[in-house]
Amino acid sequence: MSIGPLDLSNANTSGFEAVDAGKYDAAVAEMSWDQVKNEGGKTPVGTPMLKVRFKLLRNLAGDTDGIEGKSVFASYVVPPKDYDPKKAAIMQGMIANLFIGLGDNEEDVKSKKFEPDFQDYIERECIVTVGREPKKDQTGSIIEGEYNNPVKGVRPTGSVTAASGLL
């Protein structure tokens, strides 16, 4: 398939600029199931994984400078049935805390019948705690001057204020 010459004259090649670590008002932009793809990881290839993209709205002080259009990402692996029970409980807790942070009732989330419809979460607002960590290449070596913004936690909107700083 050929589409002819590409006009990339207006392409933004500046790359991804990480935001500062901190707490931000955000909204769910995408939520979907995927699966572990890398061999040799902590869970086998094919293990279900929930992927979420949050779009940042503003910092908790209400500022949008440097935040507009930025996204941060989180992945939550569903542990296999034969996984270490203590580690599985922690992994399940991370997923439960995501949905509780998005406003669902803890009792509903922890019921054996919880079956979220991801479309219901799109545009749902929350507070995300974002880290800022050096980016690494596939060998584990740090890429100088580049950073990732992992999501460290999700809380309900209004549960944290700029003045409180508590999570």
Model pLDDT for residues 107-146, shown as the tens digit of each residue: 999 999 999 999 999 999 999 999 999 998 888 899 998 8
**Pick from 144, 123, 92: nearest CA to 30:** 123
pLDDT values of the chain reduced to their tens digit, one per residue, 167 residues: 667 788 788 776 655 789 999 999 999 999 999 999 988 888 989 999 999 999 999 999 999 988 888 999 999 999 999 999 999 999 999 999 999 999 999 999 999 999 999 999 999 999 999 999 999 888 889 999 889 999 999 999 988 776 554 44
Q: How many CB atoms lie within 10 A of CB 26?
A: 25
Q: Which residue in this structure is represented by tokens 């995408």?
A: 30
The domain in which residue 134 lies consists of 22-153
Is there a domain that residue 74 lies in? Answer: yes
Cβ atoms 91, 58 nearer than 8 A: no
Is there a domain that residue 55 lies in? Answer: yes
What the block records as the tokens of 117 is 């419809």
3-state secondary structure of 19: coil
Counting the structural domains of the chain, the total is 1
Q: Where are the alpha helices (DSSP H) in the chain?
A: 85-101, 106-109
Stated pTM of the model: 0.84
- Give the domain CATH number at 139: 2.40.50
Q: What is the DSSP string of 47-65?
A: -EEEEEEEEEEEETTS--T
Q: Which residue in this structure is represented by tokens 């749902």?
A: 124
What the block records as the tokens of 66 is 């440097």
Q: Which amino acid is at 139?
A: T
Is there a domain that residue 138 lies in? Answer: yes
- CA distances to 23, 75, 119, 147, 167 from 20, in Å: 9, 20, 29, 10, 17
Is there a domain that residue 65 lies in? Answer: yes
